[in-house]
Homo-oligomer: A and B are copies of this chain.
Amino acid sequence: MRLLLINPNTSAAMTARMEQEAAAALAPDVTLTGLTAARGLPYIASRAEAQLAGGAVLETLAEHQAGYDAAVIAAFGDPGLIAARELFDLPVVGMAEAAMLTACLLGQRFGLVTFSGTLLPWYEDAVALSGLSARCACVRAVAAAFRSVAEVQHEFEGEIVALANRAVIEDGADTVILAGAPLTGLAVRVRDAVPVPLIDPLAAALGQAQAVVRLGARPPRAGRFARPPAKPATGLAPALRRWIERDDG
């Protein structure tokens, strides 16, 4: 099984880190290829940035998806998820959606803990989009400003563990999702410091991608996610333009 990991941010270092952390969540017969967005922001933290990153996800998929069994959009908030799922035939999995669905298997209500308050509206939108608001116990963020997004999981490890414990005790969370690609790997490292299952969104997304591929289902030719008919386009990246125009010649 071949999986594609698309980092919608422009940070290649983040892509490399996620590739490395992914290993533990892959079955022996699975390989993973990481790709970094060619344009956009070094990290996404708002709905406006996610709007633009979603376009970059579509461009990346149009250029690289051939030959893969499924793709993971590797930013919590899932920029471009619905659009990508509609446009392409391979299954596309988002880290936020996958983490929340996985959490539903392990408890009634999940808490969401992240490292920056500026992410909250975007992550709240992801909860709403999933239709799982009733199962979300809280969305909490570290109040302080971080110094380096690359190091934030170490810088704020204590604060994040404390918030996860408050999610359990004060908000009634049965599981806690450590949300945000920069926190990848933290869940396993601190799992003994919080008394409920901690969910790493990258691991959850990879788990869901593998589950979906092993189902062996056909891509949709009807319904809300059937590929749209061909249409002329102007001003788009070449591979994306060709895919939308169904210019296969």
Interface stretch (choices A12-20, A86-94, A152-160): A86-94
- CB of A215 within 8 A of CB of B41, answer no
The CA of A239 and the CA of B98, in the complex, are separated in Å by 35
- Separation in Å of the A177 CB from the closest CB of chain B? 11
- CB of A174 within 8 A of CB of B39, answer no
Which residue in B55, B217, B233 is a CB contact (below 8 Å) of A198? B217
Which residue in B55, B97, B102, B196 is a CB contact (below 8 Å) of A223? B196
A235 within 8 A of B: yes
Most chain-B Cβ atoms within 10 A of its Cβ — which of A28, A52, A101, A206? A52
- CB of A236 within 8 A of CB of B27, answer no
The CA of A145 and the CA of B85, in the complex, are separated in Å by 24
Set of chain B residues within 8 Å of A95, measured between Cβ atoms? none
A57-99: CB near B (< 8 Å → 1, else 0) gives: 0100000000000000000000010111011000101000110
Q: How many copies does the complex hold?
A: 6
A29 within 8 A of B: yes
A111-130: CB near B (< 8 Å → 1, else 0) gives: 00000001011001100001
- CB of A191 within 8 A of CB of B212, answer no
Most chain-B Cβ atoms within 10 A of its Cβ — which of A40, A109, A174? A174
- CB of B195 within 8 A of CB of A223, answer yes
The CA of A54 and the CA of B188, in the complex, are separated in Å by 33
Set of chain B residues within 8 Å of A50, measured between Cβ atoms? 83
Most chain-B Cβ atoms within 10 A of its Cβ — which of A46, A84, A195, A226? A46
Given contacts A39-B234, A101-B104, A211-B102, contact A58 B48 (CB under 8 A): yes
Considering the complex of A and B, which 8 residue pairs feature the smallest CB-CB distances, nearest first? A39-B235, A207-B211, A27-B27, A197-B217, A51-B83, A195-B222, A174-B223, A121-B224
Q: List 20 A-B contacts (CB under 8 A).
A: A26-B214, A27-B210, A28-B28, A39-B236, A46-B87, A47-B83, A47-B86, A48-B58, A48-B84, A51-B51, A52-B83, A98-B105, A101-B105, A106-B217, A106-B220, A107-B220, A174-B223, A196-B220, A197-B217, A203-B216
**Residues of A that sit less than 8 Å from B by CB:** 10, 24-30, 38-42, 45-52, 54-55, 58, 80, 82-84, 86-87, 91, 93, 97-98, 101-102, 104-109, 118, 120-121, 124-125, 130-135, 168-169, 172-175, 187-188, 191-192, 195-200, 203-204, 206-208, 210-212, 214-226, 228-229, 231-236, 244
